[in-house]
Amino acid sequence: MSDRARAKAHQSRPDGGGAAATAPPPSAQGGTRKPAASQLAAWAFLAPVTIYLLVFYAYPLYRSLDLSLRNYTVRSFVHGHAPFSGFKNYRIDLHDPTFTPALLHTLIFTVVSIAFQFVIGLALAVFFVQHFKLSATLRALFLVPWLLPLIVSASTWSWMLNSDSGVVNSALHSVGITSVNWLTAPKWALVSVIIANIWIGIPFNLVLMYSGLQAISPDIYEAAALDGANGWQRFWRVTFPLLRPVTAVTLLLGLVYTLKVFDIIWIMTRGGPAGASTTFATWSYQLSFGNLLPAFGPGAAVANMLIVMTLIFGFVYFRIQRKQLES
Amino acid sequence: MKTPTMGRRVRGTTALSVAVMASLVACSSSKPAASGTTSSSPAAPSSQATSSAPTSSPATSNSSAAQSSAPAATGGTYTISDPYPQYTAGSSWVNLLNSCGASAGVKIKRTGYDTTALLSQTLLSAQQGNSPDVLIVDNPVVSTLADAGVLASNDQDNIDTSAVSPNLLAAGVLNGKTYGIPVGANTLALYYNKTILSAAGIDPTTITSWTALTAALAKVKAMGKGGITLSAIGTEEGSFQFLPWFWGSGANLTNLASTQGVAALQLWTTWLKDGYVPNAAIQDTQTTSWAEFATGKYAFAENGTWQLSNADKAGFPYGIIPIPSMAGGVAPAPTGGEFVTIPLQKDASRYPTTEKIVSCLTSADNAFNTDTTLGYIGVTAAVQQKQAANPQLPVWISAVGAAKGRTSDNLGTNYPKISQQLWTAMQNALTGSKSPSAAMSAAQSAAAAATGGK
């Protein structure tokens, strides 16, 4: 319906241009052929992106939903005719002893990672915006975690945190602290992957917050300084409020990226030991591909629950954004 | 008048953006990692494929489609999939495939996948009705694929398996029918560091029971050296490494919580607690646990035939003994290695040529070449006799003779479910989350539930 309405709107102003919305339509005659052509052109322009969205976004989503609602065995995956089983796969997941720990780990992993990434990223951004000597070089160095392939950084972390031959433990040892089984003790595994993930996420936050800081006019700081605001007050009263839109974008994107983090955890701990660092992302993979006998249905169900979680946070974000627009 | 328009536009964008965002998550939430593992062991995942998009195109990164360099073939092109991406065009393995194709009068198009990727890939291509003509696949997967109706049984095609040792063929048997033929076998044994053992005054030939091995580990530890490296990771690889001890206690996979099963887990748990096994074993793959042994600081390593060439490069003298069982004697280790199978084809006229290719790879004369090429122990007595001329191999030949298929005992497709519980129990006990007996009881009830009480 909205498409038709939009098409109508096009007809009424063949010149396009949103600014002309209130302008009276040009001469009525001769308008019968031209709008048709422009409508066709509009569809032609729309077609690539529509097809792209359908093929690469809508269809996989549909398939994922379909997988999660049917009772797929390896046989029915190959030959089709998997019986519709409603929400049985979701019930299987909910009653799985892995569910509660996985949910908890996903939330802890996401919240703790983002909190540290954001605070450290912001602090570094504020630091680098001062433009001291070498600041550009140092800033570039901070981007390294972002540039490295995840397989490289995750493998390096797991090597550094190795219980017996890791560099971290030997450093601890040299200052007289007993070594920690970073990746092989259930109470440390999640901490370890979070630390690695924070390290990987800092540059992303740094870059976004840095660009946000650059957008704040120096005049405002000057005015605040003239009014007698000290450094701390300038940060809390000027920088922070003006950064709010960038902050919202950064946090939301961070949330989406962090909820679905898979590579780091899988490479470092395989979700283990004994499920101690299993999140929804690794659990979904474990179910679908981590076993000799794939459980596609329950795996897809976990993936879809992850999508729903992201969706919820997405709506929260847009609500906040709209409120900001209105105020 | 302006505000409502604005509001509507924002809301429109909202819906679209959220949809796009959700799709992004859907497409990338289960992105697997690439991890370097050898394909000769039950490998860790490393593949393409997403859970939500089974239509994604086949991974081509590892593929090395090799056109036959042999003289003009007339019978069309036959496709072969194998789990040996490390062999590229021009390697002896690919040359062997091409020459077998040439002798059958056809061209060969061969693609190598990582072990886990091969399973997903096989299921997807079977779903789309374009299975390869020949599929070389890890032995515990054969029963799953047979159950899925992907493979032709040996009654349908005419593969001769009469010369194959029954314990090696067992992994390909499901409900009385045999699917494919093992191309070669490997298994686990104990490598030992001769320097450390002679310094500790241990005679490796006396290590024929758990008690003797534990005493040897204690002696080595007292010298300030490491005991044994193994892989207790929470994947199929971990179960693979634990099975010789599990079976060596007399336990059976149908009852994980038996006193024998618990004793096996207790053995590993005690070793770890006493520092005979490095703590990293809980996360080690067979590749990383080998790397620890290769440092020369450890007396023993539980590892497979495929490390032989690395052992020569380790820089210290080494020897190999079979894994001892609890009471004494050789413990049955699980068989590794692949089966050559023929996936079902719509066009039955392709089978005769396919059979020629398969028998070329596995017939008495050629099997020796195939196994030498792949670093495997032969599956027939004839090939094993020929291999025994190599002084390194007799110990492996006897280990393979004692080995047992993971899916045998008619476990078939139940094996993966049991194995998953087994490695979970192992991880729970080794990390101290549960006692060995509590871990095994929990695993048994979960396995019984997953397999329908069987």
Residue B35 lies in a domain: no
Distance CA B24, CA B26 (A): 5
Distance CA B97, CA B106 (A): 11
Q: Do B20 and A53 touch (CB under 8 A)?
A: yes
Residue carrying the six token digits 């010298």? B223
Indicate which CATH number applies to the domain containing A186.
1.10.3720.10
Distance CA A266, CA A284 (A): 11
Same domain, B241 and B297: yes
Instruction: Give pLDDT, residue B180.
Output: 92
Same domain, B102 and B171: yes
Least confident range of A93-97, B74-78, B187-191? B74-78
Residue A271 lies in a domain: yes
Q: Stretch A23-47: mean pLDDT, rounded? A: 68
Instruction: Give pLDDT, residue B43.
Output: 38
Residue A200 lies in a domain: yes
The DSSP H or E segment spanning B208 is none
Q: Give the model's confidence band at A34: pLDDT under 50 very low, under 70 low, under 90 confident, else very high.
A: low
Q: What are phi and psi of B178, to 5 degrees?
A: -105, 135
Residue A26 lies in a domain: no
Q: What is the DSSP letter of A18?
A: G
Indicate which CATH number applies to the domain containing B109.
3.40.190.10
Tell me the Cα Rg of chain A.
26
Residue A47 lies in a domain: no
Largest interatomic CA distance in chain A? 90
Residue A115 lies in a domain: yes
Degrees to nearest 5, angle at CA B115 with B114 and B118: 80
Residue in A170, A293, A316 to test binding to B, most B beta-carbons within 10 Å: A293
Domain count within chain A:
1
**Strand order across the B298-304 sheet:** B226-229, B298-304, B188-193, B318-321
Q: Give the model's confidence band at B74: pLDDT under 50 very low, under 70 low, under 90 confident, else very high.
A: low
Same domain, B279 and B394: no
Distance CA B438, CA B445 (A): 11
Same domain, B264 and B356: no
Distance CA A258, CA A261 (A): 5
| Interface contacts A/B by beta carbons within 8 Å | 213
Distance CA B309, CA A199 (A): 38
- In sequence order, what are the residues at sequence separation of 6 or more whose Cβ sits closer than 8 angstroms to the Cβ of residue B286? B41, B231, B237, B240, B241, B303, B304
User: Which residues, in sequence order, are bridge partners of residue B138?
Assistant: B338
Residue in A255, A280, A292, A307 to test binding to B, most B beta-carbons within 10 Å: A292
Q: Give the model's confidence band at A299: pLDDT under 50 very low, under 70 low, under 90 confident, else very high.
A: very high
Instruction: Give pLDDT, residue A249.
Output: 84
Complex confidence, ipTM: 0.74
Q: Give the model's confidence band at B442: pLDDT under 50 very low, under 70 low, under 90 confident, else very high.
A: very high
Q: Do A292 and B51 touch (CB under 8 A)?
A: no
Residues in B 101-160 with any Cβ partner in A closer than 8 A: 116, 119-120, 123, 126-127, 140-141, 144-145, 147-150
Same domain, B295 and B214: yes
Residue A90 lies in a domain: no
Tokens of A38: 């422009």
Distance from CA of A313 to the nearest CA of B (A): 10
Residue B2 lies in a domain: no
Residue B25 lies in a domain: no
Residue B117 lies in a domain: yes
C-alpha closest to that of B405 among B340, B321, B338: B338
Q: Which residue has the higher pLDDT, A78 or B253?
A: B253
Distance CA B158, CA A243 (A): 73
Residue carrying the six token digits 């035939």? B305
Same domain, B197 and B263: yes
Instruction: Give pLDDT, residue B248.
Output: 94
Q: Which of B30, B141, B278 sits opposite A303 (nearest CB)?
A: B30
**Domain range for residue B123?**
77-185+336-402
Domain count within chain B:
2
Digit-coded pLDDT (tens) for A107-150: 999 999 999 999 999 999 988 888 788 888 888 888 888 888 99
Q: Do A267 and B53 touch (CB under 8 A)?
A: no
B6 pLDDT higher than 60: no
Degrees to nearest 5, angle at CA A266 with A99 and B415: 70
Q: What is the DSSP letter of B86?
A: T
Q: Stretch B72-100: mean pLDDT, rounded? A: 83
Q: Is B269 on the interface with A (CB under 8 A)?
A: no
Half-sphere exposure of B46 (CA within 13 A, CB side): 18
Tokens of A55: 């093929």
Residue B15 lies in a domain: no
Residue A108 lies in a domain: yes
Same domain, B309 and B438: yes
- Neighbouring CB atoms inside 10 A of A126's CB total 16
Q: Stretch B64-84: mean pLDDT, rounded? A: 63
Residue B18 lies in a domain: no
Digit-coded pLDDT (tens) for B108-153: 999 988 877 788 888 888 888 889 999 999 888 898 899 888 999 8
Greatest mean pLDDT range, A142-151, B67-76, B145-154, B241-250: B241-250
Same domain, B121 and B265: no
Distance from CA of B90 to the nearest CA of A (A): 29
C-alpha closest to that of A267 among A288, A255, A253, A285: A285
Residue A160 lies in a domain: yes
Q: What are phi and psi of A175, to 5 degrees?
A: -100, 15
Instruction: Give pLDDT, residue A312.
Output: 86
**Are B429 and A273 in contact, with CB atoms under 8 Å apart?**
no
**Domain range for residue A110?**
99-277
Same domain, B128 and B259: no
**Are B138 and B42 in contact, with CB atoms under 8 Å apart?**
yes
Distance CA A101, CA A93 (A): 12
Same domain, B167 and B198: no
Residue B34 lies in a domain: no
B160 pLDDT higher than 80: yes
CA terminus-to-terminus distance, chain A: 31
CA of B59: how far to CAs of B117, B128, B339, in Å? 8, 15, 22
Same domain, B226 and B321: yes
Tokens of B369: 């070449």
Digit-coded pLDDT (tens) for B285-305: 888 899 999 999 999 999 998
Q: Do B51 and A150 touch (CB under 8 A)?
A: no
Instruction: Give pLDDT, residue A35.
Output: 67
Sequential DSSP letters for B262-320: HHHHHHHHHHHHTTSS-GGGGT--HHHHHHHHHTT-EEEEEEEGGGHHHHHHSSS-EEE
Same domain, B312 and B174: no
Instruction: Give pLDDT, residue B453.
Output: 59
